[in-house]
Structure 1
Amino acid sequence: MSNKSQYVLRKFGPITERRDYSISPKKFETPDFLKMQRDSVEYFLTKGVEEELRNIYPIEAHGKVKIEYIENSATFEYPNKTEFEAIKEAKQKGSSYYGKLKARLKQINDETGEVVSAEVVFAEIPIMTYGGSFIINGSEKVIASQLIRSTGAYFGVNVRNKQANDLFNKVEIIPQVGSW
């Protein structure tokens, strides 16, 4: 019997490789469970920010100064490093892995008629890693999706009481407002 084990190297994510010692040729393909969250963040950065800026602007200050958002000028600037390098550096330094949200604004002074246009950094927005987490102050944070129960009465029949080890019926009332 030979001492060498037969295995296949399989990729898991952009940098992780694992040895697969399975005998069965059939492979169960797991779905990408993080795709929905990554797509949601990508939508926010590409389209959602633009929609919100259009809803907020123009801003007027007592009829004297007006600030307008120049449409389709919002851009998200990623760090100049690879994701792996930027994440490693953020964890070591205790900083955040983020990008800059920039947009062009136009300031109109109604009294003088002066118009000034400039690119403004709106915010530093955390970037979601390929693994679905964010690096905030050197710590990895994740979004935990929750199922929210609907308001109303929930009935349980023959529910076992663990302390007394007997069966009983139960009604659980979940209010529309407040804790339950």
Structure 2
Amino acid sequence: MELYEYARPTLMAGKKILYVHGFASSGRNGSVRTLRLLMPQAEVIAPDLPVEPFEAMELLRNMLASEKPDLIIGTSMGAMYAEMLYGVDRILVNPAFQLADTLLKNNGLGRQEYHNPRQDGETSFLVTKTLLEHFREISSHCFERAAEDQDKVFGLYGIHDTLVHTFDLFCEHY
């Protein structure tokens, strides 16, 4: 069965969705294309995130203020960031709440290739110990306002994800 057969043209019609991509990805990935295909009357905003987590969060907070999305969908690293964008409905897909540890366990130091084309044309980036510490610092702020956003956050977890295992951590807070 073809994917387009599941399209729901009026789903989220007139609404704005902010999509926050995962590690080494971009706003031009397959998930974004699928969201736009399945919900053609929704506006899907999908920026390329800076590698530096403090810059990424600043960009996302500015976009939250200026774009005022109705829904935020984040995947992996992007779901970790999305958790901290309080006050808006959010869907967190396999959130990488412990990204620094995940990268260390999976040979994530050194030069990394982007999985999707980026608007800036960059094809690779460098993961240093300093960058890992920045990820650790940013992720330490996850769940700070979880108590007040209980009805706004939904977690989706794949049972075959071999890298990110944060379901129990998510359940402790939501």
| TM-score, length of structure 2 as denominator length | 0.21
Larger radius of gyration: 1
| TM-score, length of structure 1 as denominator length | 0.21
